[in-house]
Amino acid sequence: MKSLLIGKLAIVACLLGVYADATAADVAAKPPTLSAPQLKALLPKLQTGGYVFFFRHAATDMFQLDDHPTIGDCTTQRPLSDEGRAQARMIGKAFHKQKIPVGVVLSSPFCRCVETAQLAFGRAAVDDSLFFATRLSAGERKANAEKLRKNIARHPDAGSNTVIVAHNANMMEAYGIWPNEEGDALLFKPDSNSPGQPIAEIPVGLWQGLIK
């Protein structure tokens, strides 16, 4: 348990380092966290499409940190835990049962993100600009944050929603927002007035209520 706590603290320290480099222009207001009734009330709109979901990857095994990760070698990266795999499948079941249409699915190249996307949505288009931000230079983080904002501001194909699966550090760098827990999602509604601004945070546990 002590090593697990140390691992979590190390991750938090890295993320705070990334956040310290964010400019005031990058910081958006943290959106409200939805309750179960609020998510259910939103379903008719989600079913028509036009939204962007940014998922932080599902729960991971904190006993295996990725201090020296190699892309393409999952043994060098922090993996999903059994709980995380169950979370990803639960998300996918909720989307399927509630007929929430999914078009484009983008993922960080890290295995825990790709696996989250594949288990939930059956596919994952790896986007290198979603690389874990703590592993990049300040210039690279700034460029990738701009790409993330553009991807979020891009309107999904008609009748579908876009899904992005990446890391909290990426969201911190682009918007100054830290998803509360692994598996949580930030919901965006691109429009002409405020393209790419977050409108809600969806706790990962809420999806369970949509498959009962």
Tens of pLDDT, residue by residue over 12-66, are: 444 444 444 444 345 668 899 999 999 999 999 999 999 999 999 999 998 888 8
Residue type, 71: I
Q: What pTM value is reported for the model? A: 0.87
Provide the residue ranges of all domains of the chain, joining segments of one domain with +: 2-210
Long-range pairs for 140-148: beta carbons < 8 A, 24 or more residues apart: 141/18, 141/21, 141/173, 142/21, 142/173, 144/170, 144/173, 145/22, 145/26, 145/170, 145/173, 145/174, 146/174, 148/173, 148/174
CB neighbour list of residue 193: distance below 8 Å, 6 or more residues apart: none
Question: Tell me, what's the pLDDT at 12?
Answer: 44
Contact 156, 49 (CB under 8 A): yes
Owner of token pair 């940014």: 54
Looking at the domain that runs over 2-210, which CATH code has it been given? Answer: 3.40.50.1240
Spell out, as residue ranges, where the chain has pLDDT lower than 70: 1-28, 192-195
